[in-house]
Every structure is written in C-alpha cells, then in structure tokens.
Structure 1
Amino acid sequence: MLSDNHELLKKLEELFRIEFIGNYEDDTCSVKKVGITNRIIKDLDDEQLCFNLKEFKECVQQLSNMKQVDELLIYDKKNYEVVALQENRKIPFFRSDISISNNEISYSFGKVSFTFLLHLISIVNKTEINHLIRMGRRSWIDESLKLENGLYNFNELLCDSLRLYSIKISTEKESLNENNINKYETSYKFHLAYNLDITLIPQRFLEEILGSNRIRSMREEDIQDLDIPKKFYNEDIVSHYILAISSDNLVIQYLSYYHVIEHFFNKISDEEITSCFRDIITSENFSYKKDKDIMRAVDKIKSFYMKKIIDDDLNYNEFDSLKLCLKKYIKIKEDILDKITAYKPELIDFYKNNTVYFSEGDKVNLNNNDELNVISTLAKRIYYTRNSLVHSKDGEKKKYEPFKHDKYLIKEIPLLRFIAESIITQESKII
C-alpha cells in the first residue's frame, strides 16, 4: 500500500475511509473510497479524485521543521500559522484571503494551509475529525477546486471542506522566533480591527472549536426531532446564557455563565436570613418578652451582614451566597458529574488533581460522597477564577492574562455551563 511510506498517509486513510493507490515516488496518486465515506467526498466517484503527493511530501518536510506552541499554533523561522475565528463575522466564508504584504513579510487570513491541515490530522482522533467535518459541512463542492484535467485535488477538498481559517505570517528572512511571533500576530489583528473593523480571535486549542459539537453530540438533537418548548424561563438569566453560547471569547463565556448563578445571590441570602430568623423566634425557648432573646435574634441577623467585612476584599458574603446557591440548585452527580462524564470524561480527573493555574481555584473531587465538601471546594474553584478574570490590578491577587491562560480557562467553561443550565431549568415554569 502507498500509505506504508508514511504514518500520516495511514492516518488520512483511516480518518477519511479512503485508500491511496499509486507509487510514493510519483507526483500524484489515485484515491479510492473504502466503505461508507464521510460527507467530504461522498458525492464524488473514485475516478474524480486525485491526491497531490508532491505537495504532501513538501508539506511534511516543512512540518518536520516547525514547532508546535499550542495545539493549533505552529511556526518556524519563516512561517507562522494559528487557527482564528472572526468574532464579528463580517467576512463571508467564500471571500478571498485578506492579505497584505511587502518584499519582506506577508500577512493573511483565510483557509488553513495544507501543511497546517497535516499537523491537525496528526493530533486528532476519529471522533474529533468527525466533529470538525460536521462543523464544516456544506451541501455542495466548490467547482473552482477542480483541476484542468477534470479531477478534484483531495488536498484542497480537505482544506476547503473543514472550513477552518487561520492567520498566516510569512517572512523572506528567518526572523520569526518564540519571542516575537505574538507581536507580529497582534500587529496584524490590530491593523485589521482599526482599518476594517474586522476582529480575529485566535483559537489555540482544539476544545475551543470542538466544545459546541461535544454538547450537540451529548444531546443528540436534530432540528426535526425538537418538540415545542414546554416551559417559560427567566428572561434575564437566559440572556446571560445566550451571550455565553454566542461568544467566542472565553472570558465572556465564563462570566456570562457566572452571572446566571449570581442573579440569585440576594434571593438566596435573604432566604437564608429569613429561615434563620424564623427558627429563632419559633423555638421553644424564645420569648419576645425577654430582652436577651430579642438581642440573640438581632445578633444572629447582624452576623450575616458582618460577614462581608471578614474577607480582605469585602466579598465574603458573595462567596457565601455562591455556596448557598450551589447547595440549593445543584445535585453534584446528576447536574455535574454525569454531564461532565458524557461531555469529556477526562475532565473529572483533571478537576480532582489540578487547581486552576492562574487563580489557584481549589481542586474538586466530584466523586466525593460528601456533597457539602464538594460544594465548598467547587465554590472556591469558581469564585477564585471569577475574581482572577475581573481583577486587573497588579499585586498579590492572581489574575488572568488573555491568550496566555486560555488553555487553563477553557477547561473551566463546561463546569459553569452545566451549573447555569441546571439553575435555568429549575427556575422555569410549566407553560
């Protein structure tokens, strides 16, 4: 088999259910479909497909000299590429690359290169590539990809059909290094934002582009299978939830889900105070005729309001409200453990064994049978992380640095999403 010449060829065959036919030394080879192929080539016959071996070998050679900084960021001394999304969606998918250049350097934003696609193939599994294919699905094949001989180049079909876009930087001199690649990228992003009002958001990790597909796979809902809504939901918290879902910005996602929880802090605190006061004045040993009993009730209520000055940033009461909110609305197994397991099971051990890097949010053992302990550590993990996102002052407090800490923050998003969803559904009313 042709794929015996290279592991990447074997993986391409496995992921896309094809077989390469020909000699590895040739410039091109045939592509044969094996079994039920995915949507990229399902409407094409074997006779319509070819694979550019020459390009493959050149890209493999280039890739061997490139460094991987994050999952979706690679570079060498003359080339840099990172997956990026348009936050304001002002560039249609079919538009040509946005390119600017001079004799020394070129910048562009457009479909990922074949070199990058080979890098992506090398790090994904079959489930992940299927998610990517579903994300990029289209009902037609771009006829401009057809070669002069009437065949379709499988290399180009892959890059086009996945519909992943990237920022690319190329230099004539070997001037790129780990100390300046982010500076070049930032210059290009600001240039487009300032002059064209186009915002590019780098996506450095697979989870940033696969997360929504994991959710859809969990729920296995297709549009034709959806029933009509059966409940009315709180409009304010649904607005925060939708903002989180619609944003590509991890900070906005996290804080928007947090706002769903935060919405009920005052209500939860008032309920706790009311319950405590009711217990005191209805107890058998309470008498409204005794001053000491009245003062005991007053002191108890006072203590609730004094909690806010215990913590050094005057926010203890908010943390306490967060714990009360989680205690009221969340069943650890049904609302978090089971859902995280279905979403991405390895996160269970991650939360158990790792604090949040930039906030020092606590480790959380979701399998712990002591639910109150889980609630307490979960509240600390959430609250410390929230504070790191909103505090921008230098000093002792841990703070979040955009892009640098994205790979840590992205792991916290599912936790907040499932909590927010549980609260929204519990606060709903039957229509």
Structure 2
Amino acid sequence: MSEKPVVSEELIAAGLQKVFGLNEGEDGDFTFREPITLQDGKSIHGVTKAEISEVVARLNEAKVTTESFFQWGSEAEFSLVSLDSIGAFDRFFEDKEFPGQGENPVTFKIGRPSREFSAYLLCLFSENPLLLKSHRHRMLLNRVRSFSEGRTAVNPARYRRPVECDSLFEIFSESLRVTTLRITSTKARSDFELLANSFLFHAAYNTDAAARIGLDSMFRPQAIQRVRRTQTGSLDAPRQTYDADLVHHYLMGVAAEIPLLEYLAYYHIAEHFFEKIFNEDLVNQVRSGITDPSFSARRNKDIQSIIKIVTKIQRQVKDEGGVNEQRALQLVLDRFVNVGRLAADLDTYDATLVDYYAGNDVPFAGASKAAIRGGDEEAARASIAKRIYKVRNALVHAKEGELPKYAPFAHDEELAREIPLMRFTAEQIIIAQGKVL
C-alpha cells in the first residue's frame, strides 16, 4: 500500500501559486490581477481561503487514502491510468455514468477529477518542484494558463468538452487531462477498491478498453528524474556500435509505461548471454581441473573428479530445464559489470537507492538485501544477482498459493525502486559488447 498522501492548505496554496501565478491577499484569498472569463460569460476571480479550507477538511475526512484514491463512508474517487498509448479508455468512457440497481445501488461515474482530487494533485506540484520542469508539464501549464491569457473567452474547441467551470479547482481539473472513477453507494461500504477493479474488468471485457487504478506517470517524480548524462546540445556522435537485439530490448524498457515490462526488458539483456557464459564457465572448470599439476590422466579418481563436475552441472540443467539461471546471471555480472560504476550510476539517479538496497528486502519477491558498496565486488555481485533473479521470478511466476508473489499494479511502487538496479546493470552489459567504430 502506498504511503498516505499529504494534503494541507499550505501545499494547495503553493500549488495554486506555482500553476496559476496567483496573488495572495491579506485575508488569505488568492486572486488574479484580472479575472478569467469563460465562453459562457462567467468570470473566475481566484479562490478563497474558505474554499481551500473546505477542500482540505473534506480530504482529511477520508477513511482510506492512498496516492491513487480517496475513500469516504459511502463514496470513493480513484485516479485511472489508461493502458494503451492512445487513451482509448478515456475517450470511450469520457463523462459516462452507470447508475446502480437493486436495493443498495452503486453508481460509477468516469470523468475529470473532482474539486477535492484536483486539490490533492496541486499538493503534488508543491511537494515536487521537478514536476513543473518536464515536457508534459509544460504542456499542462500551457493548457491551464490558456484560460487566462488575455483574460478573454476561452475557445471550447481546444478542449475535450465545452468548458463549464464554477471554480479555479475545476479549471485546473479541466486542464489536467486526468481521468478519475467516482463510485457512490446508498450505504457505507469498505470495498470500494474491489468495486473499482470489478468495474475495470467489466469495462475491458465488453469494450477492450483497459485502464488501471493508479496515479498518472506525470505525477511520479521518479518517472521524470531520468538520468540525463549530457545536455542535447553537447551530445556527441556514438563511438561504438552495439548489438541490435540488445538495443531493441533496451529501447523497449525505456519506452515501457508498465514497470513489469520495463524490468523484464532489461533482464532479457542479461539473459541473452546466459547459455554462452554458463557453458564457458563449465569449459573453464574442466580445463582448470585437467591442467592442474595434481591431475593425472593415469589415476581413475582424477578422471572421476572431472566427470563429477560435468555430471553435476548436467543434472542441474536437466532439473531446471536449462542452465542454472541464477548462476548464469552472476557469471554475466562477473564478466561485464563494474560494481563501482553501478553504484555511481545509482547515486546519480537517486542518492538513496544504494542504501535502500542494502537495508531493505523485496517483500513481493522474497529477495534479500544487496550490499553494493562497502564490501568486495564478488560478494556484491552475488547479492545483486540473487536480488535481481528473485524479482524476475516473482514477475513471471504467479501460481496460486505460492508466496511471496507479485501482484500487478499493487506492487508497482516497490518494483519501480528495483528498476534502476536492473537498468544500469543492463546498460553496462550492452556497453561491454560495444565495438569501436
């Protein structure tokens, strides 16, 4: 479960100032120098301190809160993320309501965020200044600010529906292009998340338009703080060529919107070398045995020791249906990955990650801690290999009754913290295969 989101009057006020450039008066109200005039002639002058207080009180009354939804006694609101690149779900279900039936009807409504949820998203802007620096957020700010450019009537053709706003929160909501699912019941319930997921299944089953509960990636700092090793203006031409298959897996990982797909794309880069490296290791073990000064081809026990090496590995391959993947992964890391560089890449991306891996397991995978810094490199690679391999297994194996296991979307936040380790490992593997131009 995600951490409980922080909502306060101060954060909302800061978000309003960052997004709209409002002026704060002595009475705590926030106003434009000139009001926004909508196409229906209505004017929006700003937002009052009383309205902000009312919204915060409403959010704090929620019985369950996560980064993706707020739940009250008889209603809840969920942020949705469309699971296709063209937003088919958003377009198909835009502003649709599905009334419930029976003695205790439950109604589902899909549309723009409520005033309360919009205020929460404003808090995210306040907490994460980098949100305002990404390309997507510049587009968002342009949409928001277009309401007030010139303080003239807004052209409704520029928006997904005729603009009907009664407050500044609704203007922000209209500009976000974020979709939420609101569920209301005639009686108090505690199973709104179950109801939401049931509706999403029902919708996908009947329309092939899929969405999930979750916060849009634009509001996730980690999705924005990609490692930028250089500015575009100083980017050099490549000095090496790289294996096309590896590059394609890497590009798939970089482009993936779903953490599971991103992780597995990078894992496949390491997996590409498993059989080759594993077989080379077997050959080296046999060669080491027969070239050892103590070995004699005349002694049966020496010949038998070599046979045991081969037989043991062949048995492992037979039992596992292939090479021993965890062993192969470690061999690949031993061959291609510099632990010091890996730690430096992680520090550049997020200075907390190396300590996080050293101090935290991965509960959904049963993966243990990985000490990347402070010990010898061989031990570090061994712990990294175990962690990566167990996370991978949790993603591809989901048999009922087996614990621990990965739950799609529910564990995405935990999985997202594992992706940098896998990505930077994969990058070193690709670079190690490069050939000078």
TM-score under structure 1 length normalisation: 0.79
* Length, aligned pairs only: 403
- Find the aligned partners of 1:348 and 1:207 in 2 and give their Cα distance: 25
Q: Which moved more, 1:119-128 or 1:253-262?
A: 119-128
Superposed counterparts of 1:67-146, under 5 Å: 67-91=63-87, 97-102=94-99, 105-122=106-123, 125-130=127-132, 134-138=135-139, 140-141=142-143, 145=147
Superposed counterparts of 1:391-402, under 5 Å: 391-395=397-401, 397-402=403-408
What per-residue deviation string (whole Å, max 9, x for no partner) do you get for residues 120-167 of structure 1? Answer: 343552434325x54333295379846997488754554455x46233
- Find the aligned partners of 1:24 and 1:248 in 2 and give their Cα distance: 44
Structure 2 residue identity aligned to 1:136? H
Which of the residues 283, 289, 306 maps onto 1:280?
289
Structure 1 residues 381 and 294: CA distance shift in structure 2, 3 A? same
- Find the aligned partners of 1:345 and 1:187 in 2 and give their Cα distance: 39
The aligned residue for residue 247 of structure 2 is 238
- Find the aligned partners of 1:164 and 1:211 in 2 and give their Cα distance: 20
Structure 1 residues 215 and 296: CA distance shift in structure 2, 3 A? same
Question: Between the two proteins, what is the percent identity of the paired residues?
Answer: 26
What per-residue deviation string (whole Å, max 9, x for no partner) do you get for residues 277-316 of structure 1? Answer: 2333333444555555444333333333334578xx7788
Report how far residue 320 of structure 1 moved.
0.9
Conserved? CA contact 1:71–1:206, under 8 Å: no
Report how far residue 268 of structure 1 moved.
0.9
- Higher RCO (CA-CA < 8 Å; seq separation 6+): 2
Conserved? CA contact 2:12–2:122, under 8 Å: no
Which of the residues 6, 10, 15 maps onto 1:7?
10
Superposed counterparts of 1:248-327, under 5 Å: 248-288=257-297, 291-308=300-317, 317-327=324-334
Report how far residue 93 of structure 1 moved.
11
Q: Which moved more, 1:276-285 or 1:204-213?
A: 204-213
The aligned residue for residue 44 of structure 1 is none
- Find the aligned partners of 1:228 and 1:100 in 2 and give their Cα distance: 53
Q: Which moved more, 1:17-26 or 1:392-401?
A: 17-26
Conserved? CA contact 2:31–2:47, under 8 Å: no
Structure 1 residues 109 and 426: CA distance shift in structure 2, 3 A? farther
Report how far residue 230 of structure 1 moved.
3.7
What per-residue deviation string (whole Å, max 9, x for no partner) do you get for residues 203-256 of structure 1? Answer: 25979843332115x43544x554444433222233332333333222222222
Structure 2 residue identity aligned to 1:129? L
Matched, 1:190 2:197: no
- Find the aligned partners of 2:97 and 2:270 in 1 and give their Cα distance: 45
- Find the aligned partners of 2:65 and 2:95 in 1 and give their Cα distance: 24
The aligned residue for residue 171 of structure 1 is 184
- Find the aligned partners of 1:176 and 1:264 in 2 and give their Cα distance: 52
CA RMSD of superposed structures (Å): 3.8
- Find the aligned partners of 1:194 and 1:184 in 2 and give their Cα distance: 15
Structure 1 residues 411 and 141: CA distance shift in structure 2, 3 A? closer
Structure 2 residue identity aligned to 1:52? V
Q: Which moved more, 1:384-393 or 1:281-290?
A: 281-290
Q: Which moved more, 1:85-94 or 1:111-120?
A: 85-94
Structure 1 residue identity aligned to 2:274? F
- Find the aligned partners of 1:62 and 1:169 in 2 and give their Cα distance: 15
Structure 1 residues 422 and 49: CA distance shift in structure 2, 3 A? farther
Structure 1 residues 369 and 22: CA distance shift in structure 2, 3 A? same
Structure 1 residues 160 and 420: CA distance shift in structure 2, 3 A? farther
Structure 1 residues 156 and 342: CA distance shift in structure 2, 3 A? farther
Conserved? CA contact 1:112–1:164, under 8 Å: no
Report how far residue 105 of structure 1 moved.
4.7
The aligned residue for residue 36 of structure 1 is none
What per-residue deviation string (whole Å, max 9, x for no partner) do you get for residues 360-418 of structure 1? Answer: 20111222222222112212211222222222223454222223333322221221111
The aligned residue for residue 372 of structure 1 is 378
Conserved? CA contact 2:345–2:424, under 8 Å: yes
Conserved? CA contact 2:80–2:212, under 8 Å: yes
What per-residue deviation string (whole Å, max 9, x for no partner) do you get for residues 40-79 of structure 1? Answer: x9xxxxxx98423365444333212124532232222344
The aligned residue for residue 59 of structure 1 is 55
- Find the aligned partners of 1:384 and 1:365 in 2 and give their Cα distance: 16
Match of 1:415, SS? helix
Which of the residues 413, 417, 420 maps onto 1:411?
417
Structure 1 residues 345 and 194: CA distance shift in structure 2, 3 A? same
Structure 2 residue identity aligned to 1:400? Y
Matched, 1:200 2:202: no
Structure 2 residue identity aligned to 1:238? V
Structure 1 residues 109 and 347: CA distance shift in structure 2, 3 A? farther
- Find the aligned partners of 1:246 and 1:49 in 2 and give their Cα distance: 40
